Amino acid sequence: MKTLSFLLLSLLASVRSWTPEVCDLSGLNDTHGSQREMVTINVTETYLVIELDHSTGAKALDGSNYKFYITPGNGTGADKFVIFWEGGAYCGNEGESVLQSCYGKLNGRYGTSTAYPDNNTWTNSNHAEGAFSSQQEYNPMFWNWNKVKIIPLDGANFQGSLDEPLVYNNTNIWFRGFNNTFSTFEYLRDHFDLFNASEILLGGGSAGGIAAMQWSQFLKDWLPKNIRISIFGDGAMFLDAYNKHTGCFLFRYMMQQLVDALSLNSSANNILYRNCKYRNTATWKCLMMKYIYEDIEYAGFLSNSQTDASELTELMSISCLNEGGPDFCDNDERKEITTVREDFLRFALKIKKAKPTWGFFLRSCFEHSLQFVWAWYGESMDVYNAESQEMSSLRNALYNWYSQKTSSNSYIDLIDWLHNPRCVYLVE
């Protein structure tokens, strides 16, 4: 039987290279990601809202107290933690400057803690949440663990560490993502016995998955050495891809803007980036998974679309995907998407060779984060494992990898996005 590496290599084309000089943001489309079905299940999730006052150094963008969510563990999960960084909320990804973009977020859920419930109150959700769910039926491995959700209220993916606010339109904007996250961990240490944990799963969706990897290096030195720590990155495998509509590598450009605007190469962030080989030469690389994965010392599991909807729409401005699926893309757009998939598979194979203990669940459909859709809950989203010749849902693939039940943990679609019968595209 052909090996998975051979099968993947047979799909790959040569890599194009560019040397962009200018990023023309007028070429950006008004994109909003994929049109895909979210899972609505008639269950109730409950979370305790913890508020951290300014004495901790934590602040939201608007200067309000920082808040995070936790569901305390019980029974066999009382000394185990799922810590999840929520994704999204980058400032500057709409073609605006970092400050202009953050100013526009100040009154929303990514800018102010007043958008969340008051301290020590419970809030409900009307759908289960993958590995973060407290419903045993939908999450039998992690359901009764302590589950912590770290909210992105700094516009820089939990990286900001400025002592003083920056001012835009006569308004103070605070960048304390580093402080917010570290203060959350201090609270967990002091009030939830984090240092006596037996197992911790660090997870995140989209940009939050990148944050989980960045912070894992800090936590490696901060947490006791006897704790089993693993990483689950969902939708975090962004490429450093060229956007022909803007004439630049757009994600690279955005990260460089954050580094410059928020002094992310300052001494505080050198604490977070101290294991990143690029921190003194190209700090923006320390914010991108493509350049930091090789230094991650914990075992990881990656779930991602090979034709990631957020990558294609927001970072590459391929507008046909907003219409619903491949039937709406012309030949040039299809060629561009195919090239992205080839580059993605090359990236995945590189990680697989460098990290033999890592697991993969890589669908070929237009999606982004997978654990909140049927990839987690329904068999219709199974992916084939060419080495074990078995199909698996994301949930079972993660469980098999985490419990080390199988030596083959690479679930990777070999059928492309045009011909995969398991891809379902919806138009709203």
Calpha distance 335→339 (Å, rounded): 6
Edge to edge, the sheet with strand 80-85 lists 122-125, 45-52, 66-71, 146-150, 80-85, 199-205, 228-234, 299-305, 359-363, 410-412
Q: Measuring CA to CA, how many Å separate 339 from each of 270, 333, 414?
A: 35, 10, 15
Per-residue pLDDT of the chain (428 residues; tens, 9 = 90+): 444 444 444 444 333 333 433 677 765 644 443 444 555 666 677 889 999 999 999 999 999 999 999 999 999 999 999 999 998 878 986 668 899 999 999 999 999 999 888 877 777 666 668 898 888 888 999 999 999 999 999 999 999 999 999 999 999 999 999 999 999 999 999 999 999 999 999 999 999 999 999 999 899 999 999 999 999 999 999 999 998 888 889 899 999 999 999 988 886 777 889 889 998 889 999 999 999 998 898 999 999 999 998 899 888 888 887 766 677 889 999 999 999 999 999 999 999 999 999 999 999 988 888 887 767 776 567 888 877 788 888 999 999 999 987 777 899 998 888 888 888 664 43
- Find tokens 């009154």 and name the residue: 107
Q: Tell me if residue 55 falls in helix, strand or coil.
A: helix
Q: What is the pLDDT of residue 137?
A: 84
198 pairs with which residues across the strands?
A: none
Exposed/middle/buried for residue 139 (C-beta within 10 Å: 0-12, 13-18, 19+): buried
C-beta separation of 428 from 34 below 8 A: no
Nearest to 92, CA basis, from 190, 166, 147, 41: 166
- Find tokens 């904007």 and name the residue: 173
Helix, strand, coil in percent for the chain, rounding step 5: 35, 15, 50
C-beta separation of 252 from 240 below 8 A: yes
Calpha distance 238→133 (Å, rounded): 25
The number of C-alpha atoms within 13 Å of 147 and in the hemisphere containing its C-beta is 20
Does pTM surpass 0.85?
yes
Q: What is the pLDDT of residue 36?
A: 47
Calpha distance 30→96 (Å, rounded): 13
What backbone torsions phi and psi does residue 159 show, to the nearest 5 degrees? -115, -25
Calpha distance 82→204 (Å, rounded): 10
Q: What is the pLDDT of residue 271?
A: 86
C-beta separation of 63 from 350 below 8 A: no
C-beta separation of 371 from 359 below 8 A: no
pLDDT digit string, tens, across residues 1-29: 444 444 444 444 333 333 433 677 765 64
C-beta separation of 175 from 162 below 8 A: yes
Calpha distance 320→323 (Å, rounded): 6
What backbone torsions phi and psi does residue 54 show, to the nearest 5 degrees? -65, -20
Helix (H), strand (E), coil (C) string for 82-110: EEEECCCCCCCCCCCCHHHHHHHHCCCCC
